[in-house]
Amino acid sequence: RTTATIQEMAANKSKATKKKKRISKHVLKANAERAKQAIINGSKGNDNESNDNGVDLAGLQKNNTKATTPKKKIASKKRSKHVKDPSEASTYLKLWEQHKKHGTDWKFNKNTQSWLIRHMYESDKVAKATFSLLLEYLSGLEGDVTKKRMRTDASRRALRYKEYEKTNASDVGNENTTTQKNEEGAASNTAADEGSNGKDNRDTDEDIDDATRWKELDDHDKRKGYKRARKILELVTVA
């Protein structure tokens, strides 16, 4: 009986030892996982830690990123200009004409209207037929600010051409009728009244582009732009 008891105790000890070993492996594995997680948490903590002066470095970096991003967007926005297909602007006016005559669907687009006004002196972008339709469209324009800007711009272009004609050796067109003199007088008076106020906040880049384009035009295209400016003056001076 004593021997059996000793053997039973030895067996129980052996089972306990095996159980202890199994628990030890599990504990080691758990400890290893905890150590790994501690390292990960430690690295995250370093991202949010403060320097010796108590400043949140990560927070500053995040705020600096937010502060600089809008500036980059604004800068890139200034550099990039929307390029519109001239046919898109022409279609816009044709749809407007159909809407006016037959009540068909048409939707006002301020960007397209602005593009047409900005480029209406460029025959390669606004064809003759499109310009004629644009004059009809602009006759119903109600914005006083836009009309004033159009009048100032047309006056500037008309006077620029007359100065060019005076300094140019060749006589372009040679139109010296009473009607033209009256229109030139109206252009001069308008420019005198409004020119002192600058260019009505015109964008400097657009002025540079326009001056560059003007120099590249031949006499015929310069004359064409002058005639369009006179028509715009007639339109915005009425009423």
84-93: pLDDT as tens digits: 899 999 999 9
Which tens digits make up the pLDDT trace of 159-210? 999 999 998 855 545 554 444 555 555 555 554 454 444 444 445 667 788 8
What pTM was computed for the model? 0.55
- Tokens at 44, concatenated: 């995250």
For every one of its 239 residues, what pLDDT tens digit does the chain have, with 9 covering 90 and above? 556 666 667 666 665 555 544 556 667 777 777 766 766 665 455 444 444 444 454 554 555 555 555 554 544 444 445 578 999 999 999 999 999 999 999 999 999 999 999 999 999 999 999 999 999 999 999 888 999 999 999 999 999 999 999 988 555 455 544 445 555 555 555 544 544 444 444 456 677 888 899 999 999 999 999 999 999 999 998 64
Distance CA 35, CA 38 (A): 5
DSSP H or E stretch at residue 60? helix 57-79
Please choose, from the candidates 160, 130, 153, the residue with its C-alpha nearest in 3D space to the C-alpha of residue 222.
160
Instruction: Identify any residues that bridge with 131 across adjacent strands, giving them in sequence order.
Output: none
